Amino acid sequence: MRKSTALWTALGIAAVPAAAVVAGSFYFYRLAVERAPKKFLDADPGLQPNPDVQTETTASREWWAAQNFEHRSLLSGDGLKLHAYYLPAKTPTKRTAILAHGYSGDASIMSGVSKFYHEELGMNILVPDARGHGRSEGAYIGYGWHERVDYLGWIRRMIAQDGPQAEIVLHGISMGGATVMMTSGEDLPPHVKAIVEDCGYTSVRAELEHQMKRMYKLPAFPMLPATEALTKIRAGYSFTEASALEQVRRCRTPMLFIHGSNDVFVPTSMVYELYEACPADKDLLIVDGAGHGDSFLIDKAAYTDKVKQFLQNRLSEPAAAD
C-alpha cells in the first residue's frame, strides 16, 4: 500500500511541472505567435524610438499618407486573402521593389524605404501586409517561413503584370529581412535581380531563444520546445525549420546584408553568420550606432548610397537619380 501511495505521489509531483510547461506553451504561443497586439514590445528597451530621427520618421509617414495607393490582393496557398499596397512609378517602368515589414507592424512602417525606392530610384513599389498583420488575413505570425511562399505569389503577380521584362528587388527589415532571406532559398525566377535584408535573424528558434533569455531570463528548455510543438499543431510550422540561415545557403540571387552595430533585439553577430553562409554575390553594411531597425534612419546617406551601389548594373534601367 505504501509503495502504491508513493508511486502516485511521485506521479503527482511529476505532473505539476509538466502541467506548468503545457500552460506556459499556450502562454508563449499567444504572446509570440498568435495574431494579437504585441503590447509587451512597447516597453522593450531595444525597440524604443530614437528621438534623433523623429523628423525623418514623421516626414516618411506623411508621404505615405499622401499617396494614392492601389490595393492589391492575393489568395495564399492555404486560402488566406492577403493584402498589399501598390504604387506605380511616376514614369512607367518594369522595375518593382517588393518590400517586407517587421513583426507586429504593417506595410506602413516601410514608409521610409518605400519613399526611397519610389522617389529616388523611380521604381514601382509593392508593400504587402504580412499574413496575420494589417489588412491581410491570418490567425498567426509565420516569422517569415510561411510568408516566403506568400512572397513567391507576389513575385509571380508582378511578373504577370509586367511580363518578361519585369525586374524585381526584394527588401525587408527585421522579420521582413528574415522573410526575404527565407524566400531567397526558393527557386526564384530570374526576374528577381537583388535582395536587401536589414537586421533579419538566423532562424526563428535562435531568435526566440535569445528573447527568452533577454526578456524573461529563461532557458530555452523546456518552454521553447513545448511552444514549438504547439506552433506546429496550430500554425503548421516549427521554429527549427524556419531558418533563414539554411535558406541563405541555397541563395543564388545577389544579396546585400545590413545591420545596426548596436542591435540587441536581433544581435548584430547574426548578420556575420548569415553573410558568411551566402554563396551568391553579396555585400555587407554595418551602420555604426544603429539599433534594431534603425539603420535607414540613423545614417540614411550611407544606407541609400550602399543600396544604389549594390543595385547598379543589376537592374537594366538606370535609377531615376542617375
**Residues in Cβ contact with 112 at an 8 Å cutoff, skipping those fewer than 6 apart:** 56, 57, 60, 296, 297
**pLDDT (0 to 100) of residue 115:** 98
Q: For the chain, how far is it from start to end, CA to CA, in angstroms?
A: 88
188-243 pLDDT tens trace = 999 999 999 999 999 999 999 999 999 999 999 899 999 999 999 999 999 999 99
pLDDT above 50 for 105: yes
Is the CB of residue 60 less than 8 Å from the CB of residue 115? Answer: yes
Cell numbers linked to 34:
498568435
- pLDDT given for residue 322 in this prediction: 40
Work out the number of other CB atoms within 10 angstroms of the CB of residue 14.
10
Q: Residue length, the chain? A: 322
pTM for the whole structure: 0.92
The string of pLDDT tens digits covering residues 139-197 is 999 999 999 999 999 999 999 999 999 999 999 999 999 999 999 999 999 999 999 99
Q: Where are the domains of the chain?
A: 1-32+215-237, 48-203+242-311
The pLDDT-based confidence of 21 (bands split at 50, 70, 90) is: confident
Q: What is the homologous superfamily of the domain 48-203+242-311 according to CATH?
A: Alpha/Beta hydrolase fold, catalytic domain (3.40.50.1820)
Among 89, 93, 138, which residue's Cα sits nearest to residue 118? 89
Q: Kindly indicate the confidence band of residue 2, based on its pLDDT and cuts at 50, 70 and 90.
A: low
Q: Answer whether residue 9 shows pLDDT above 60.
A: no
